[in-house]
Amino acid sequence: MTGVKFRHEQKYYVNYHQYYLIRQRLGILIRRDEHANDEGDYHIRSVYFDDFENKALQEKQAGIENRHKFRIRMYNKSDDIIHLEKKIKRNTWIAKEKVSISRRMVDDLLHGDFEAIADEKSPLLQEIYLEMKHRLLRPKVIVDYVREAYVARTGNVRITFDKDLRTSLNKINPFDIDLKPVRALDEPVYILEVKFDEYIPRYISQALQLNGLQRQSASKYTICRKYMKANTWEDQ
């Protein structure tokens, strides 16, 4: 993991009233993410992988501090930019490794054809190749949502609201034209994520009013896996 940048990540559930007040304050203080559309957000769809033991899911639910998981991520339902990512957690720190992949490579991985990446030079692709070969790493669930993001250079702070969390039932192809994601949360809540390097500037902390919020694990992967298990015959 040479050169991987670790950061803090804090997560909270907020209702619409809290979301509205916080975004109003942030809109005055810091800028929106440059990738946002005219409405101020963008769409994210990910395919998460897990192995034959469902290690990523089990470790998250058990509260294991040092863990990782793999995913394929795309934006705005387009195949223009597709990343294979490894999200890493070490105690209270998180980091992300990623590599750009092609639509064809996505199709190969979704069908379990790991030999298609056997000769790739990327260390991350080599790692997922070995995981697929020896630990039967396979795509498990689609995680789909809309993200509203704000960024501040001071402290390298990134604040996001993830809205309309959805998942699919028994479908793992993010490009499936018949994919009809369903809501994964019963309550109308937003997931607030705050990422930063060493500190959160005071003016941002005051705008967020984090002292009045309770930190949550709020794993979108876990939420969607639980929903899928509750609504299908998936064997975990």
What is the residue-averaged pLDDT of the chain?
91
Task: Encode pLDDT of 143-167 as tens digits.
Answer: 999 999 999 988 889 999 999 999 9
Residue 12, Cβ neighbours under 10 Å: how many? 20
Residue-level pLDDT at 220: 95
Answer yes or no: is pLDDT of 35 > 50.
Answer: yes
Beta carbons of 222 and 55 less than 8 angstroms apart: no
Residue-level pLDDT at 232: 61
CATH number of 7-231: 3.20.100.30
Residue-level pLDDT at 132: 97
SS3 content of the chain, % helix, strand, coil (to 5): 30, 35, 35
Distant-in-sequence, close-in-space partners of 122: CB < 8 Å, separation ≥ 6: 99
Please give the average per-residue pLDDT across 203-219, as a whole number. Answer: 88
Task: Encode pLDDT of 12-34 as tens digits.
Answer: 999 999 999 999 999 999 999 88
Measure the CA–CA gap between 216 and 10, rounded to whole angstroms: 8
Answer yes or no: is pLDDT of 88 > 80.
Answer: yes
Residue-level pLDDT at 143: 97
Domain boundaries, the chain: 7-231
The two structure tokens encoding residue 101: 């992949």
Answer yes or no: is pLDDT of 236 > 50.
Answer: no
pTM metric for this prediction: 0.92
Residue-level pLDDT at 2: 52
Answer yes or no: is pLDDT of 1 > 60.
Answer: no
Residue-level pLDDT at 91: 84
Answer yes or no: is pLDDT of 105 > 90.
Answer: yes
Q: What's the one-letter identity of residue 7? A: R
